[in-house]
A and B are shown apart, each in its own frame.
Chain A
Amino acid sequence: MSVVFAPTIGLRPRETHYCPGCTHGLIHRLVGEVLDELGVLGRTVGVAPVGCSVLAYDYFNCDMHEAAHGRAPAVATGIKRVLPDRIVFTYQGDGDLASIGTGEIVHAAHRSENITVIFVNNAIYGMTGGQMAPTTLIGQRTTTTPGGRDAALTGYPMRMSEMLAQIPGATYVERVSVHSPVYVRKAKKAIRRAFEVQVAGKGFSLVEVLSSCPTNWGLEPAAALDWIKDAMIPIYPLGVLRTPDDPPAYLTAVQPQSDGGAVAGSGMPPATGVVGGDSRGAVPKEGEGSAD
């Protein structure tokens, strides 16, 4: 008799707190399976966010850090820099990554931290009970947009993956969905590829996973999956936005010179002679007239 379905060793054998029909558990499982299949589970360190998946540290069967809201990429940076041979991932929701943590995610990508980010976008704040997220759709009712999201007041849905894909350091960026088995399989492939990028030492990888929130969307689980397909995907198109094979053209235009400068006309400042400063009270050094 062959085993066709079994719990993954990548997750701890315990019940999750997620609502019925929520796809967080499914996404956890995909991450757990990939870590196991790549043979890296033992040397993986994860970072959990604040949001619905705040307790993810209890579910993943690896060492975990629980970060402050939005700071997971900074925490992951601290871990990866002192433990460069570990596999480090963050698991973040849309409030965590796209709202309070925009600075951290942008700069982790910008530095091309060799980490993997699992970004779960369900277009709403779940844990706090259904408030507007940066990714909430126009017209979508939330407890803080009771009349539906109005772009004039709150802006348009924020497409984090498109935005991050513009960053030179973002090596691999893909958006997937888990609204049907076919898409779940594709999502797993993307997650696998993202971790492979990290294993290969190629830098920052991120997979955005469109996820459902039946509770706060006010939909039955099956209808919620349909809503991902019908309402979310048109705004958040699926697909690969960046791979290690297609760096942006302006990156290849800059060839570092031996003296640390950049090729003239590349539009990039030279690497030397640039002094960082504190915008809150810069203190240029005294032009030292040395005694020579």
Chain B
Amino acid sequence: MPRTLMKGNEVIGAAAIRAGCRAFFGYPITPQTELPEYMAAQLPKVGGVFVQAESEIAAINMVYGASGSGARVMTSSSSPGIALKQEGISYIAGAELPCVIVNVMRGGPGLGGIQPSQSDYFQATRGGGNGDYRLLVYAPASLQELADLVQIAFDKADYYRNPVMVLADGMLGQMMEPVEFRDDLPRMELPAKDFAATGTMGERAPRVINSLYLKPEELEEHIHRLFAKYEAMKVNEPLVETVGLEGAEIVVVAYGTTARIVRSAMATLAEEGIHIGLIRPITLFPYPMGVFETLPDSVRQLLVVEMSMGQMIDDVRIANEGRLPISFVGRTGGMVPTPALVAERVRELLGATAVGGATEGSGATAYQGVGTGSTTGGAR
């Protein structure tokens, strides 16, 4: 297919429909509103349903009903709206229902702002809802990756019977880039939806979509079953892009659009003869822990860059297991860090040692899926 110039929020909608999503429940909130608008216009054309819900809470509960009825279903929102959806997300995870939830992040806490942010990392990876559950979380950095990952997310949701979150930010939602809807995306063999409560038709025992287990021993067993899935995700699903790790003294860890800003900083620094590496997690849960265990000996320190006060830094600490010193630089509240800010921090960290590492520019790009998980194709 030829590459088309599209807006991020519309890319999400188009990718979802291509992936067979036929139900969308949403509520307007900046900066994701083009997505429900797109779905309102496009879903009816393919026999799908769109409902503008009265609230994000209602929307996520409509998702619960539609998913429990066997539909491929999605909802989207931005940070404060995702906060409202947490109740339903927890229930959906508890009832083991598949769905895709898109968060086009904006600044917080509270009403916050409407400019791009990455301050919902905790909310996405630690869960804002109650109970022992996890979401599979994808963090695309380009619209091409957004198009790919949204489609893959639906398969993963069905495969694991678990909500999958696509964590974008206002920049990704609002910007336009060329996108190709590829026909060669990895497809999974999926289990039949024999859980769906669609009416017995008098032919089988009633099915119940439920997250209530009043007997603690049963609830514990249920949670163990959930966690067996999360352990499988940890083995099969981590995705990460690494750039120029070999010979780098400093490796930057950044995800989403921030990683692109870091790439610009890398180019600037390369012109000065400073070579740094980049680890870009593409899944935030499961976190690509493995890549931190196999860093080249040249790496002396890690620098985390985020559009937040530093939330992913906790996972970097866990992955690093105390091996290397970790620093942080970022902007928050909707302020976007500049390549200059990142470059300056790198120079600062290198300090008196001046030029470190190789004098080449960023090395070959390895866009790898860790474990046996599927990759989503070439680097941006």
Give min CB distance, B210 to chain A, whole Å.
Answer: 4
Q: How far is the CA of A82 from the CA of B62 in the complex (A)?
A: 10
Nearest residue in A to B111 (C-beta to C-beta)? A280
**Cβ of A68 and Cβ of B201 under 8 Å apart?**
no
Residue numbers in B under 8 Å from A202 (CB-CB): none
**Cβ of A81 and Cβ of B29 under 8 Å apart?**
no
**Cβ of B62 and Cβ of A78 under 8 Å apart?**
yes
**Cβ of A42 and Cβ of B65 under 8 Å apart?**
no
Complex interface bits, A70-88 against B, C-beta within 8 A gives 1, otherwise 0: 0100111111111100100
**Cβ of B64 and Cβ of A42 under 8 Å apart?**
no
Residue numbers in B under 8 Å from A71 (CB-CB): 57-58, 61, 64, 87-88
Asked if A277 is at the interface (CB within 8 A of a chain B CB), the reply is yes
A65 and B64 in contact (CB under 8 A), knowing A12-B206, A82-B69?
yes
Give min CB distance, A33 to chain B, whole Å.
Answer: 16
Q: Which of A56-64, A181-189, A203-211, A231-239 contacts B (4 or more CB under 8 A)?
A: A56-64
Q: How far is the CA of A287 from the CA of B203 in the complex (A)?
A: 57
Complex interface bits, B43-72 against A, C-beta within 8 A gives 1, otherwise 0: 000000101111101110111111111110
A43 and B199 in contact (CB under 8 A), knowing A63-B208, A75-B65?
yes
Nearest residue in A to B203 (C-beta to C-beta)? A42
B103-120 interface with A by 8 A CB criterion? 106, 111, 113-114
**Cβ of B206 and Cβ of A61 under 8 Å apart?**
yes
Q: How far is the CA of A281 from the CA of B28 in the complex (A)?
A: 10
Q: Interface SS of chain A: helix, strand, loop or mixed?
A: mixed
**Cβ of B58 and Cβ of A47 under 8 Å apart?**
no
**Cβ of B206 and Cβ of A81 under 8 Å apart?**
no
Give min CB distance, A238 to chain B, whole Å.
Answer: 29
**Cβ of B62 and Cβ of A75 under 8 Å apart?**
yes
Asked if A282 is at the interface (CB within 8 A of a chain B CB), the reply is yes
Contact with A107, one of B49, B58, B70 (Cβ below 8 angstroms): B58
Q: How far is the CA of A111 from the CA of B62 in the complex (A)?
A: 13
Asked if A103 is at the interface (CB within 8 A of a chain B CB), the reply is yes
Asked if B256 is at the interface (CB within 8 A of a chain A CB), the reply is no
Give min CB distance, B341 to chain A, whole Å.
Answer: 26
Contact with B68, one of A43, A61, A65, A68 (Cβ below 8 angstroms): A65
Contact with A281, one of B66, B95, B114, B201 (Cβ below 8 angstroms): B114
A63 and B200 in contact (CB under 8 A), knowing A71-B88, A74-B61?
yes
Complex interface bits, A189-203 against B, C-beta within 8 A gives 1, otherwise 0: 000000000000000
Contact with B111, one of A58, A65, A74, A281 (Cβ below 8 angstroms): A281
Asked if B156 is at the interface (CB within 8 A of a chain A CB), the reply is no
Q: How far is the CA of A58 from the CA of B209 in the complex (A)?
A: 11
**Cβ of A280 and Cβ of B80 under 8 Å apart?**
yes
Residue numbers in B under 8 Å from A86 (CB-CB): 198-199
Asked if A276 is at the interface (CB within 8 A of a chain B CB), the reply is yes
Give min CB distance, A25 to chain B, whole Å.
Answer: 18
Contact with B210, one of A12, A43, A66 (Cβ below 8 angstroms): A66
B interface residue count range (under 10 / 10 to 19 / 20 to 34 / 35 or more) = 35 or more
A7-65 interface with B by 8 A CB criterion? 12, 41-45, 47, 54, 57-58, 60-65
Q: How far is the CA of A79 from the CA of B198 in the complex (A)?
A: 8
**Cβ of B87 and Cβ of A68 under 8 Å apart?**
yes
Asked if A278 is at the interface (CB within 8 A of a chain B CB), the reply is yes
Residue numbers in A under 8 Å from B52 (CB-CB): 276
Q: How far is the CA of A75 from the CA of B199 in the complex (A)?
A: 15
**Cβ of B208 and Cβ of A45 under 8 Å apart?**
no
Give min CB distance, B30 to chain A, whole Å.
Answer: 5
Contact with B57, one of A43, A45, A74, A106 (Cβ below 8 angstroms): A74
Q: How far is the CA of A44 from the CA of B209 in the complex (A)?
A: 14
Contact with A66, one of B23, B203, B211 (Cβ below 8 angstroms): B211
Residue numbers in A under 8 Å from B55 (CB-CB): 103
**Cβ of B206 and Cβ of A62 under 8 Å apart?**
yes
Asked if B18 is at the interface (CB within 8 A of a chain A CB), the reply is no
**Cβ of B91 and Cβ of A277 under 8 Å apart?**
no
Q: How far is the CA of A111 from the CA of B197 in the complex (A)?
A: 23
Asked if B339 is at the interface (CB within 8 A of a chain A CB), the reply is no
Nearest residue in A to B48 (C-beta to C-beta)? A82
Asked if A283 is at the interface (CB within 8 A of a chain B CB), the reply is yes
Residue numbers in B under 8 Å from A283 (CB-CB): 30-31, 33, 114
Nearest residue in B to A12 (C-beta to C-beta)? B206
20 contacts between A and B (CB under 8 A): A41-B200, A57-B208, A58-B208, A62-B206, A63-B206, A64-B197, A64-B207, A65-B68, A67-B61, A74-B58, A74-B61, A74-B62, A77-B58, A78-B69, A79-B66, A80-B65, A82-B65, A82-B69, A104-B58, A278-B28
A interface with B by C-beta (< 8 Å): 12, 41-45, 47, 54, 57-58, 60-68, 71, 74-83, 86, 103-104, 106-107, 110-111, 276-278, 280-283
B interface with A by C-beta (< 8 Å): 22-23, 25, 28-31, 33, 49, 51-55, 57-59, 61-71, 73, 80, 87-88, 91, 95, 106, 111, 113-114, 197-203, 206-212
Shortest 10 CB-CB distances between A and B: which pairs? A78-B65, A63-B197, A78-B62, A74-B61, A42-B202, A107-B54, A75-B65, A78-B66, A71-B61, A74-B58
Beyond known contacts A79-B66, A103-B58: 17 more, CB 8 A cutoff: A42-B200, A45-B198, A57-B210, A60-B206, A63-B206, A66-B209, A67-B64, A74-B59, A78-B62, A78-B69, A79-B69, A81-B49, A82-B22, A107-B54, A280-B29, A281-B113, A283-B114
